[in-house]
Amino acid sequence: MKFKNSIILALDVEDKKNAYNIIDNIIDYLDCIKIGYPLTLAEGPDIIKSIKEDYDVNIIADFKVADIDATNEKIVSTTLNWGADAIIVHGFTGEDSVLACKNAAEKLDKEIFLLTEMSHPGADKFLKPVSLDIAQMGVELGITNYVAPATKLDRLKKIREIVGKDASIISPGVGFQGGNAKDTLKYADGAIVGRSIYNAANPKESLEEIIASIKD
């Protein structure tokens, strides 16, 4: 997946009115929104379709799919049929589970993002030791989209080296978690920003400051 704008909004709010108010203020800067469990569980999966239709943006469903292959196939197919353009899936579940996700998405002419390593400190214990192997598995399976942490630039750089320059990487952790958008975009195609925007008193101003920092 390719992005016209390098900032991806992680819209982890819990009601439609708030979500729409935020999007209304910053839609001119967005071509991709990441929607996870908080908003989807609060409003139902139709919220994905609503935002897609009302704003004509790419939507990545951040459901971090992590089950057996048969269950993964159902989760991916159902989610993408609600209007998401892509869905994030865990890689630690192994080749068969990941392939089920990839195949289900391709049947709908949509995409998956393979999660290699997460941005929070706790991921260091269990995900970090296998994240490079997950990235390599993704390459071998023909996956072209990845998630890698903005908060750990050394890891992000290594994952970029493995997946290659033509793959797309999106990176969570910019802003509130300490990741820097400008540094992240040296290796990633999209910097994911959530709380620093949607919790800000002025989301548009906050986003504009992040965009300005990239250009400095």
Give the three-state DSSP class for 102.
helix
- Give Cβ neighbours of residue 141 (< 8 Å, ≥ 6 apart): 95, 98, 99, 102
- The yes-or-no answer on residue 64 being catalytic is yes
Q: Which of 18, 64, 63, 26 is nearest to 43 (CA)?
A: 18
Biggest CA pair distance of the chain: 48
The DSSP call for residue 29 is G
Whole-number CA gyration radius for the chain: 16
- Kindly name the residue from 64, 128, 182, 204 that is annotated as catalytic: 64
Which sequence positions are flagged as catalytic?
A: 64
